[in-house]
Amino acid sequence: MRPAVGLALACAAVAALTGCSIENASCGGEEYPVLSVGSTGSTCVPKGEDPPKGYVRYPEGKEPQKVDDKWDVYWQTHTVDENGKIIEVPKGG
């Protein structure tokens, strides 16, 4: 069982008693998020490894940390082009 799933189950079991809340991390503790060049796709890469071909690191200070945080929402409508420039993704694209 993945650690996040175990945490979610444990938290759900005690939520009524403790007020535990779950925030979904963008990646696991030993990973970092990377952005697909030219689209809004993303994936997670093990720390210490370079992004796979077609992916880049998010611009510094603009990395999503949790699902639906400020930067996660921003990158749903933006990406970077092949020159690293931030661009808006056309609707439906």
Whether residue 21 lies inside any domain: the answer is no
pLDDT of 20 above 80: no
58 C-beta neighbours (distance < 10 Å), count: 20
Residue ranges making up the domain that contains 38? 26-88
Whether residue 4 lies inside any domain: the answer is no
34-80: pLDDT as tens digits:
999 999 999 999 999 999 999 999 999 999 999 999 999 999 999 99
Whether residue 19 lies inside any domain: the answer is no
Q: List residues bridging with 14 in a β-sheet.
A: none
Whether residue 69 lies inside any domain: the answer is yes
80 C-beta neighbours (distance < 10 Å), count: 20
Q: pLDDT band at 92, cuts 50/70/90?
A: low
Q: Give the per-residue pLDDT at 91.
A: 78
Predicted TM-score (pTM) of this structure: 0.70
Record the tokens describing residue 72, joined without a space.
Answer: 């996660």
Counting the structural domains of the chain, the total is 1
Q: pLDDT band at 90, cuts 50/70/90?
A: confident
Calculate the CA 4 to chain-centre distance.
Answer: 14
Q: Report d(CA 12, CA 18) in Å as an integer.
A: 10
Whether residue 75 lies inside any domain: the answer is yes
Contact 45, 54 (CB under 8 A): no
Report which of residues 10 and 37 the model is more confident about.
Answer: 37
